[in-house]
Structure 1
Amino acid sequence: MEKSLFVVFLHCSVLLSLSFLIPAFHGGSIAEAVRTKDGSEAWGYVEVRPKAHMFWWYYRSPYRSEDPGKPWPVILWLQGGPGASGVGIGNFEEIGPLDTYLKPRNSTWLRKADLLFVDNPVGTGYSFVEEPNLVVKTDYEAAADLTTLLIEVFNRNESLQKSPLYIVAESYGGKYAVTLGLSALRAIQAGKLKLKLGGIALGDSWISPEDFVFSWGPLLKDVSRLDNNGLAKSNSLAEQIKGELDAGKYVEATESWNELEGVITSSSNSVDFYNFLLDSGMDPVSLTASELSRQIAKRRYLRYLNSLRSSTPGGGGDLDSLMNGEIKKKLKIIPDDVQWGGQSDLVFTALEGDFMKPRIDEVDELLARGVNVTVYNGQLDVICSTKGTEAWVEKLKWDGLKSFLSMDRTPIYCGDSKMTKGFTKSYRNFNFYWILGAGHFVPVDQPCVALSMIGSITQSPVQSKFISH
């Protein structure tokens, strides 16, 4: 299909559904799948546990090739939060084919791969639980549900089984990604899951909360958003958090983390945690994760999503209204009593005891198993700062770490521009990208670099001259 026709179809299919319902049964659970007549999209629910329903949405790239010598990649996108919707935010705000005005996105990652968005964990976005106690309480419980979903989606589709799957995560999604990676490997080895794991990419990911909270004060002092008094307060609370983590008091550490964000907010005149060049609320995509952590803050989060506008770069239409209006009508299978994001307040609270736990060991295990792991980070991010990311990377026990750290970086350029857009270096199965001029949401702030980067990570057959070394 010609590119222009594909875009027109995607736009129109939001307004006029061209799909049909296919009930499917597998392993005792029920999966509902819907697909467009031309096969360019499919979506559905998987009952990952009794009364726990996870929603997924798959886009087949119009650039997809079937060359067995150059396998076409599939990207599974995992959003953070916890409680933020990949089907909504990742899809319409960041990398999907359409923006929140349902206009074509030139920088969609479909140019490099097929895309699979999942509202993870259950209770997020369109995913829902019939009983509140069924939301997950740990990253590993979330990984088990995601593995069940992958079994449902991949085991019945031979075309997908031929494509390497790349798990790409943002923010708290990084913790989901590494636990899912290990869970998926076990399922593959046991013969329960039919897919090829191509690699894992961790974008501005919350892998080591301790390293991040210790990075906030020094980083913001260096860029003049904190003075010495603010730095002292920040470091004091970071030490308190470290003590709580060392004592295994993870819920208390989450409470102290929330307090630390408050101290930094007041001491910096409300710096945006996702871009230190901005004040909080100026970036329409960003939301401070602590806004999910308390009842008042959760309501602020939902109101914030509802207020997204295109008046600021990276914005768009009213995401909440879009997902509960046009998109819900298009999808057809969302139950009438399910509101997109309606159970988000359950998700963070349930994960409160896991929120501050590190997942460095899981990254180490993936590397030891030979899985390709990529880390990419936006220069302007605070909450998952590059400074904090470098700190946890240096804690890896991976036997290639010393060689990796001793290497020089390679500069990144984009298109015909001679301006440096970032740096990268790779050693064996570990890769790191430093993305200049980007905050927490790298695909939004630097779409050109992000698109070329993801092409390199996934070894997409469709390459470009965006990045030159």
Structure 2
Amino acid sequence: MMASYISDIPGPLKLINFFVHCIIISSFFNAGLCFLNVYPKVRQIPVTGDPGEPLFLTPLIEAGNINEAKKASRVGVLEGAEHIESYSGYITVNKSFNSNLFFWFFPAESNYNTAPVIVWLQGGPGASSLFGLFEENGPFYVSKKYVLKRRKYSWTSSNSVIYIDNPVGTGFSFTESDSGYARNETAVGNDLYTALQQFFLLFPELQKNDFYITGESYAGKYVPALGYAIHTKNPTASVKINMQGMAIGNGLSDPEHMLHYGDYLYQLGLIDLNAREIFHKQENLTRSYIEEKNWNKAFEAFDLLLNGDIYSYGTLFYNLTGMKNYFNYISGNKTQKGGNSDIYVQLEKVRRAIHVGNSTYNNGNVVELHLKDDVLQSVKPWIEELLESHRIVVYNGQLDIIVAYPLTVSYLQALNWSAAASYKTALRYKWHVGNELAGFVKHAGHLTEVLAWNLLFDSKNGFFNLTGFDNYYNYLHDRGSSLNGSYDIFVQKTSTRKAIHVGNSTFHTIDKVQNFLREDFAQSVKPWVEELLESYRMVVYNGQLDIVVAYPLTLTYLQALQWSGAALYKTAPRYKWQVGHDLAGFTKTVGKLTEVLVRDAGHMVPGDQPKWALDLIYRLTTNKPFH
């Protein structure tokens, strides 16, 4: 009966009726001053017309025909990109299996001879790096009419950027044998290294330039894998790569130390204490399989926890939250706008209409000063007594900070009343208004606990001094740019295929690469990161709104790193990162490690905050501090 009743919780008007004869409390009693496959599935379309032939550059490079290879790889004219120079083609990384990596290279639009060279690697695993090119940080995006439009903030404006479909079998990259697919990060790193050796023969003028490896999501493994390959092979290589650093965005790098989804989701108010315990059990099970090196079981345990790639029924994440979007939990949220009601009510005609005359419209400071001594006192005993005879609804807006949902739940757990034990074990249900998920609700005795989706409590305090951010009740002040979703169709058009020299090659979906890297999922690249940090600058950045590779999870893994700066990192201060007048996020730097939290961004940081992401990559490539 209860489940049926809760699932049918009505909309606002009936909810108000539900509150009749209830005491409504707005959370101010104990107050004080998977794969990580977040990318859309590629929509494959049939090849039509004459797309030309694929361009395999390795034979020309090996024959020393560099000028011919470069000329052949020049991308043809594309509407909207007539003045953008770029090069593309295939580089063979394993002749035995005919394994080929596809790349699309954009020379820096300014200072090409000295500009840093960046390689961008998408995650997935199995997501095409063309997603990053068109949706996040490339020189243009694809319009709804399938025409290229210039992006305001492009990494190619001051950097030469290589987008590689990696690993083999991703995007336009392919192999003719199952044995050619990567099964671990050593293979991923070796294939990328082989491709870059040939790339720098094709563009020898760039060998002296600073080189950086970047990527997001599952590229939290790719980036260290390639970095480690370069680091170990460079001393004896005939083509040396001038690697200076790397950037990992929302990266899965060390799963064992990053399995804290339960605590994080609880902190966000998306699950309750009981659900957190369920998460903890599944996380501990996953860890046990990792300790046993039972990688297949470890993947299955995680898949049930969050990702849902192999289970037809819902994951714990979906079943307990009702959400499918785990890389940005407020996707589609609109910018909070200020109102003008305070001005309006002081207009002459309004004052006259509402009979207030020339009375002062107070700002509340005086009242606040008079209640200073009351702020930290509690009304908990009164609540306990009232619950014995009156229904009480305690609700929180999900986005509040000053009176956050976890803080409210902590106090509700401490209440001493007749239904206290029932409350602690009660189930929490989804609350729908029409077809919308409005929030979550729990009943016990006369108490109803409600978490309202995307609502906030308006109040003030002084935490600006510590964070530099004055919007403490909703840290999503600005949503940033949205991603366009037509690039996969665009790159499969006949004209595009012909221009970028892929012929009728398949633009692969993610599935096969995922399957082959299944046992790689729960394995760690932590030792490589530790060694790389002794020699190379590394930026590890996270979008604040991400769930799947959340900032707290990344911090847990960074805290576990064993390197020369480990002790200093744990005690280092965190600073504000400003881009112009914008508070872009927070950062700390110790030795060669820089940790960055990007505000108002989800899993795909360059797509959500392109201006700030460009500043981030600029600081990496110029070795300019973040504060």
TM-score (norm 2): 0.61
Instruction: Please give the alpha-carbon distance, in whole angstroms, between the structure 1 residues aligned to 2:605 and 2:485.
Output: 20
Q: 1:308 maps to what in 2?
A: none
Aligned length in residues: 404
Instruction: Please give the alpha-carbon distance, in whole angstroms, between the structure 2 residues aligned to 1:323 and 1:157.
Output: 24
Instruction: Please give the alpha-carbon distance, in whole angstroms, between the structure 2 residues aligned to 1:252 and 1:141.
Output: 22
Instruction: Mark the CA change 1:94 to 1:455 in structure 2 (over 3 Å): closer, same or farther.
Output: same
Q: Is the CA contact (8 Å cut-off) linking 2:217 and 2:252 kept in structure 1?
A: yes
Instruction: Please give the alpha-carbon distance, in whole angstroms, between the structure 2 residues aligned to 1:193 and 1:264.
Output: 47
Is 1:110 equivalent to 2:179 in the alignment?
no
Q: 1:236 maps to what in 2?
A: 281
Q: Is the CA contact (8 Å cut-off) linking 1:421 and 1:436 kept in structure 2?
A: yes
Question: Structure 2 unaligned runs (5+)?
Answer: 1-50, 77-82, 307-314, 334-479
Is 1:328 equivalent to 2:367 in the alignment?
no
Instruction: Please give the alpha-carbon distance, in whole angstroms, between the structure 1 residues aligned to 2:516 and 2:257.
Output: 23
Choose which of 103, 106, 110 in structure 2 pairs with 1:63.
Answer: 110
Deviations 1:46-74 (A, max 9, x none): 111021111011101212254xxxx4201
Q: 1:387 maps to what in 2?
A: 552
Instruction: Please give the alpha-carbon distance, in whole angstroms, between the structure 1 residues aligned to 2:131 and 2:495.
Output: 13
Q: 2:116 maps to what in 1?
A: 73
Question: Structure 1 unaligned runs (5+)?
Answer: 1-16, 281-311
Instruction: Please give the alpha-carbon distance, in whole angstroms, between the structure 2 residues aligned to 1:330 and 1:60.
Output: 20
Q: 1:404 maps to what in 2?
A: 569
Q: Is the CA contact (8 Å cut-off) linking 2:123 and 2:219 kept in structure 1?
A: yes
Which stretch has the larger CA shift, 258-267 or 21-30?
A: 21-30
Supply the AA of the counterpart residue of 2:508.
G
Supply the AA of the counterpart residue of 2:60.
F
Instruction: Please give the alpha-carbon distance, in whole angstroms, between the structure 2 residues aligned to 1:22 and 1:323.
Output: 18
Instruction: Please give the alpha-carbon distance, in whole angstroms, between the structure 2 residues aligned to 1:80 and 1:377.
Output: 14
Instruction: Mark the CA change 1:383 to 1:73 in structure 2 (over 3 Å): closer, same or farther.
Output: same
Deviations 1:184-207 (A, max 9, x none): 122221123332001111111100
Q: Is the CA contact (8 Å cut-off) linking 2:118 and 2:213 kept in structure 1?
A: yes
Instruction: Mark the CA change 1:112 to 1:406 in structure 2 (over 3 Å): closer, same or farther.
Output: farther
Instruction: Please give the alpha-carbon distance, in whole angstroms, between the structure 1 residues aligned to 2:286 and 2:279.
Output: 11
Instruction: Please give the alpha-carbon distance, in whole angstroms, between the structure 2 residues aligned to 1:168 and 1:124.
Output: 17
Structure 1 segment 359-370 matched on structure 2, within 5 A = 359-368=525-534, 370=535
Supply the AA of the counterpart residue of 2:243.
L
SS of alignment partner, residue 324 of structure 1: coil
Supply the AA of the counterpart residue of 1:98.
F
- Greater CA radius of gyration, 1 or 2? 2
Instruction: Please give the alpha-carbon distance, in whole angstroms, between the structure 1 residues aligned to 2:119 and 2:187.
Output: 18
Shift of 1:275: 1.0
SS of alignment partner, residue 60 of structure 2: strand
Q: 1:441 maps to what in 2?
A: 604
Instruction: Please give the alpha-carbon distance, in whole angstroms, between the structure 1 residues aligned to 2:124 and 2:612.
Output: 24
TM-score (norm 1): 0.81
Q: Higher RCO, 1 or 2 (CA under 8 Å, sep at least 6)?
A: 2
Structure 1 segment 290-439 matched on structure 2, within 5 A = 313-325=481-493, 328-336=496-504, 338-342=505-509, 344-368=510-534, 370-417=535-582, 420-439=583-602
Q: Is the CA contact (8 Å cut-off) linking 2:541 and 2:598 kept in structure 1?
A: yes
Instruction: Please give the alpha-carbon distance, in whole angstroms, between the structure 2 residues aligned to 1:221 and 1:160.
Output: 48
Is 1:451 equivalent to 2:614 in the alignment?
yes
Is 1:216 equivalent to 2:242 in the alignment?
no
Structure 1 segment 115-134 matched on structure 2, within 5 A = 115-134=161-180
Is 1:25 equivalent to 2:68 in the alignment?
no
Shift of 1:328: 3.4
Choose which of 57, 62, 74 in structure 2 pairs with 1:35.
Answer: 74
Instruction: Please give the alpha-carbon distance, in whole angstroms, between the structure 1 residues aligned to 2:186 and 2:64.
Output: 20
Instruction: Please give the alpha-carbon distance, in whole angstroms, between the structure 1 residues aligned to 2:495 and 2:526.
Output: 37
Deviations 1:109-149 (A, max 9, x none): 11231110000011000001122332111111011111110
Is 1:246 equivalent to 2:412 in the alignment?
no
Is 1:53 equivalent to 2:100 in the alignment?
yes
Shift of 1:226: 0.8
Instruction: Please give the alpha-carbon distance, in whole angstroms, between the structure 1 residues aligned to 2:519 and 2:501.
Output: 33
Shift of 1:388: 0.8
Instruction: Please give the alpha-carbon distance, in whole angstroms, between the structure 2 residues aligned to 1:36 and 1:313.
Output: 28
Instruction: Mark the CA change 1:447 to 1:125 in structure 2 (over 3 Å): closer, same or farther.
Output: same
Q: Is the CA contact (8 Å cut-off) linking 2:135 and 2:484 kept in structure 1?
A: yes
Instruction: Please give the alpha-carbon distance, in whole angstroms, between the structure 2 residues aligned to 1:112 and 1:437.
Output: 25
Instruction: Mark the CA change 1:237 to 1:73 in structure 2 (over 3 Å): closer, same or farther.
Output: same
Deviations 1:268-317 (A, max 9, x none): 1115211122499xxxxxxxxxxxxxxxxxxxxxxxxxxxxxxx952224
Which stretch has the larger CA shift, 270-279 or 45-54?
A: 270-279
Supply the AA of the counterpart residue of 2:530.
D
Supply the AA of the counterpart residue of 1:81.
G
RMSD (CA atoms) = 2.6
Q: 1:266 maps to what in 2?
A: 319
Instruction: Please give the alpha-carbon distance, in whole angstroms, between the structure 1 residues aligned to 2:580 and 2:117.
Output: 25
Deviations 1:336-361 (A, max 9, x none): 1x22124x321011011111101111
Instruction: Mark the CA change 1:30 to 1:377 in structure 2 (over 3 Å): closer, same or farther.
Output: farther
Q: Is the CA contact (8 Å cut-off) linking 1:251 and 1:353 kept in structure 2?
A: yes
Which stretch has the larger CA shift, 244-253 or 109-118?
A: 109-118
SS of alignment partner, residue 377 of structure 1: strand
Instruction: Mark the CA change 1:161 to 1:268 in structure 2 (over 3 Å): closer, same or farther.
Output: same
Q: Is the CA contact (8 Å cut-off) linking 1:324 and 1:340 kept in structure 2?
A: yes
Q: 1:96 maps to what in 2?
A: 138
Is 1:172 equivalent to 2:215 in the alignment?
no
Supply the AA of the counterpart residue of 2:503.
P
Deviations 1:195-228 (A, max 9, x none): 2001111111100112333x21111111111112
Instruction: Please give the alpha-carbon distance, in whole angstroms, between the structure 1 residues aligned to 2:495 and 2:213.
Output: 25
Q: 1:84 maps to what in 2?
A: 127
Supply the AA of the counterpart residue of 1:233.
I
Which stretch has the larger CA shift, 317-326 or 102-111?
A: 317-326
Instruction: Please give the alpha-carbon distance, in whole angstroms, between the structure 2 residues aligned to 1:327 and 1:142.
Output: 31
Q: 1:200 maps to what in 2?
A: 246
Q: Is the CA contact (8 Å cut-off) linking 2:90 and 2:103 kept in structure 1?
A: yes
SS of alignment partner, residue 597 of structure 2: strand
Instruction: Please give the alpha-carbon distance, in whole angstroms, between the structure 1 residues aligned to 2:498 and 2:153.
Output: 23
Supply the AA of the counterpart residue of 2:595.
F
SS of alignment partner, residue 453 of structure 1: helix
Instruction: Please give the alpha-carbon distance, in whole angstroms, between the structure 2 residues aligned to 1:429 and 1:75.
Output: 18
Seq. identity, %: 28
Q: Is the CA contact (8 Å cut-off) linking 2:327 and 2:603 kept in structure 1?
A: yes
